[in-house]
């Protein structure tokens, strides 16, 4: 991807190694990456940046993934409608439903293989594949 059209992804996850894992896969595929370690930090970062996609872990301290998404979707401004890919350890249908209700666009169960992550990210950023 040329610099000018590089899609930017904000990874929101408490675990540094998970963020590193996603970053290495996504940077390898040409995305630009930013990180936040919980929902509150993500909201603050979104005040000054507009990524093309959010990767959001469900279980984080201070503000979990669902609370973050609900707070984000309630806001005004461009960032509030950023597509969000939610990652969770829970695989039951009601968890997917809860994620959608909170404002997720897509839902993956952890641990997520790198190739699936890259394909989903490309799709949600509107890139041809």
Partner 1 sequence: MIELPSLTAAEFRRLCDFLYRRTGIAVADNKRYYVERRVRDRMIATGTTSFAAYFVGLRGNADGEIEKFVNSFTVNETYFYREDQMLRCLSTELLHRAIAAKAGTGPLRIWSIPCSSGEEPYSIAIWLLENWPQVDDYDIEIVGSDIDTRILEEARSGIYGPRALMRLSPQVIAKYFEPLAEDRWRLIADLRQSVQFSQANVIEAAETRPHGRFDVIFCRNMLIYFDDASRRVAAENLYECLMPGGYICLSQTESMSRISPLFEVCRFADAVVYRRPIAGGHG
Partner 2 sequence: MPLIRKGSGPPASPASVDRDATMTALRAGTREERWDAARALAMFPEAAAALGEALSTEADQLVREAICTALVRINSADSVDAILPHLRSDDANLRTDALDALKAMPVAAQARFQSLLRDPDPDVRILGWDLVRETGSADATRRLAAILDAENEVNVCAAAIEALAEIGAAEALPALTRCAERFPDQPFLSFAAKAACERIGSQAPRPHD
Contacts to partner 2 by CB under 8 A: 14-18, 20-21, 24, 59-64, 66-67, 89, 110-114
Q: Please, are residues 59 and 66 in contact by the beta-carbon 8 Å criterion? A: no
Contact partner, 111, from partner 2, partner 1, none, Cβ < 5-8 Å per class: partner 2
Nearer to partner 2, 32 or 109 (CB): 109
In the complex, which residues of this chain contact partner 1 (CB under 8 A)?
A: 16, 20, 35, 37, 40-41, 43-44, 47-48, 62-63
Q: Quick one: 79 or 108, whose CB is closer to partner 2?
A: 108
* CA separation for the pair 14, 20 (Å, rounded): 11
For partner 1, the closer of residues 14 and 52 by Cβ is 14
Cβ distance to partner 2 smaller for residue 112 or 127: 112
- CB of residue 73 to partner 2, shortest distance in Å: 17
Smallest distance from partner 2 to CB 13, Å: 10
Q: What is the dihedral of CA 22, 27, 29, 32, to 10 degrees?
A: 110
Least Cβ distance, residue 6 to partner 2 (angstroms)? 24
């Amino acid at each position: 991807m040329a610099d000018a059209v590089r899609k930017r992804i904000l990874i929101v996850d408490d675990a540094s190694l998970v963020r590193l894992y996603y970053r290495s896969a996504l940077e390898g595929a040409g995305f630009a990456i930013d990180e936040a370690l919980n929902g509150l930090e993500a909201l603050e970062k979104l005040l000054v940046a507009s990524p093309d996609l959010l990767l959001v872990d469900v279980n984080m301290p201070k503000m979990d993934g669902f609370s973050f998404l609900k707070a984000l979707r309630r806001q005004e401004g461009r960032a509030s409608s950023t597509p969000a890919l939610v990652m969770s350890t829970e695989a039951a249908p009601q968890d997917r439903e809860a994620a959608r209700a909170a404002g997720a666009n897509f839902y993956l169960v952890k641990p997520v293989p790198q190739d699936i992550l890259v394909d989903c990210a490309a799709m949600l950023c509107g890139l041809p594949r």
